[in-house]
């Protein structure tokens, strides 16, 4: 049995993805922009037709409830930047991450990010895990590639749970 750190991190990611896939398979187009509260963050088309996320440079109080669309854009943003950092590429700016829109195009986009992430994981060895990285911890030199991979797993699990809960709430309200 291989219990090396890289194997365990990959196993953890695969488990998280399988739980996320359960919700991805059941998402309907109308789920993405359903606003569960009056105070809500979502995505809106700009004058060019590009989906733009609601955003504030400092976290507002109270924190707006995000739509599934907003969460899926957020996943695309942080995951793209994590991939950039681990590939030692210039990281994308938040404004460069364009959400493809509600429905299967977003699900396909997320699955494509998974494929890109798996290519990164497949290239990382146990020795690489100890290498320093600054993402998402900008000024903490004690963090390693292993920390970033573990953070991606945790962030994805949190976002998958948020999407799942929103999907279930919308479905329950539609059944009333």
Q: Mind listing the pLDDT tens digit for each residue in 99-153?
A: 999 999 999 999 999 999 999 999 998 889 999 888 887 878 889 999 999 999 9
Domain boundary assignment for the chain: 5-174
Percent of residues, the chain, with pLDDT higher than 90: 83
Two tokens, residue 85: 């950092």
Question: pTM for this one?
Answer: 0.94
pLDDT at 176 over 50: no
Q: What is the mean pLDDT of residues 157-162?
A: 98
pLDDT of residue 3: 78
pLDDT band at 33 (very low <50, low <70, confident <90, very high): very high
CATH of 5-174, one of 3.40.190.10, 1.10.1740.10, 1.20.120.450, 1.10.3470.10: 1.20.120.450
Q: What is the mean pLDDT of residues 53-63?
A: 94
Supply the mean pLDDT for the chain.
Answer: 94
């Amino acid at each position: 049995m291989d219990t090396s750190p890289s194997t365990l991190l990959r196993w953890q990611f695969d488990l998280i993805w399988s739980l996320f896939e359960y919700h991805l398979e059941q998402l309907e187009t109308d789920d993405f922009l359903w606003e569960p509260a009056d105070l809500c963050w979502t995505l809106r088309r700009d004058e060019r037709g590009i989906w733009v996320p609601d955003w504030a440079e400092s976290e507002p109080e109270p924190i707006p409830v995000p739509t599934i669309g907003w969460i899926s854009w957020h996943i695309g943003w942080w995951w793209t930047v994590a991939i950039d950092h681990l590939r030692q590429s210039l990281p994308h700016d938040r404004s460069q991450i364009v959400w493809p829109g509600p429905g299967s195009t977003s699900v396909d986009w997320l699955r494509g990010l998974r494929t890109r992430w798996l290519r990164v994981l497949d290239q990382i060895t146990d020795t690489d895990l100890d290498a320093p990285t600054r993402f998402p911890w900008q000024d903490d030199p004690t963090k390693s590639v292993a920390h970033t991979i573990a953070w991606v797993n945790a962030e994805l699990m949190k976002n998958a749970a948020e999407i799942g809960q929103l999907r279930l709430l919308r479905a329950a309200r539609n059944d009333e």
